[in-house]
Amino acid sequence: MENFYSEFAAAYARGKMNLDPHCSDEESLGRARAAGLRLHRFKRSSQLPRVRKVLGALHALAPESLLDLGTGRGVFLWPLLDEFPELRVTCVDSLDYRVADLQAVARGGLTRLQAHQAKLEALPFADGEFPVVTMLEVLEHTANPQRALAEVCRVTGQALLLSVPSQPDDNPEHLHLFCAKQLRDWLTKQGLTRVKLDGVLNHLWVLAQR
């Protein structure tokens, strides 16, 4: 499975199918394919420009742990875990089945991964608990983005990296369109006073630090 993140797919297979934790990646994947388990979410693809941008910034920040919000299917998570093999990552998603899949990966052997179900507006973490927080393509989905961003900033210890669409689109789940000044003002009010913004293929990319 050269075109897949095989390590993570195998961990998912072990966790989802309750296989022996010592089952090899090759055997785990073989049994997963035989059982018809869908592994498409682990397929490697050309990284989105905003994903590459965030990964580049993370190399400079060099965190030991990270909180990723709105993880979803793992479009950002799998490249992140692959790029930083020692990084401890805590994931949050609002959908129970997404969280269950992430927990299966952790249960299958990827012990540096944790997953929780929670809303952005009420995160179950202490103030400044995570040195770095990432949030890609999430804020535009929230009913009250300013309130959600305040809660995200609360748990951010040093730096927040986020991206949002910068152009109108036809996605009915996108409730808001943000401008650079609006995001800068909101983040500054929450104590993240060093704010860098950049445009990345119809998206705004933001690095905000205390």
Q: What is this structure's pTM? A: 0.94
Q: Are residues 73 and 35 in the same domain?
A: no
Q: Are residues 205 and 190 in the same domain?
A: yes
pLDDT of residue 101: 97
pLDDT of residue 45: 77
Q: Are residues 50 and 64 in the same domain?
A: yes
Q: How far apart are CA 5 and CA 107, in angstroms?
A: 17
Q: Are residues 37 and 49 in the same domain?
A: no
Q: Are residues 30 and 131 in the same domain?
A: no
pLDDT in tens, 3-51: 899 999 999 999 999 999 899 999 999 999 999 999 999 999 778 888 9
1 falls in which pLDDT band (50, 70, 90)? low
Q: Are residues 117 and 15 in the same domain?
A: no
pLDDT of residue 175: 65
Residues contacting 62, CB < 8 A, separation 6+: none
Q: Are residues 170 and 73 in the same domain?
A: yes
- Residue type at position 113: L
pLDDT in tens, 40-89: 999 997 788 889 999 999 999 999 999 999 999 999 999 999 999 999 99
Q: Are residues 57 and 157 in the same domain?
A: yes
CA dihedral 193, 194, 198, 203 (to 10 degrees): -40
pLDDT in tens, 147-203: 999 999 999 999 999 999 877 777 776 767 888 999 999 999 999 999 999 988 888
Q: Are residues 67 and 38 in the same domain?
A: no
Q: Are residues 128 and 95 in the same domain?
A: yes
| Tally of domains in the chain | 2
pLDDT in tens, 89-100: 999 999 999 999
Question: Token pair of 10, please?
Answer: 């195998």
Q: Are residues 114 and 170 in the same domain?
A: yes
Per the structure, the complete domain to which residue 71 belongs is given by 45-209
Q: How far apart are CA 134 and CA 54, in angstroms?
A: 8
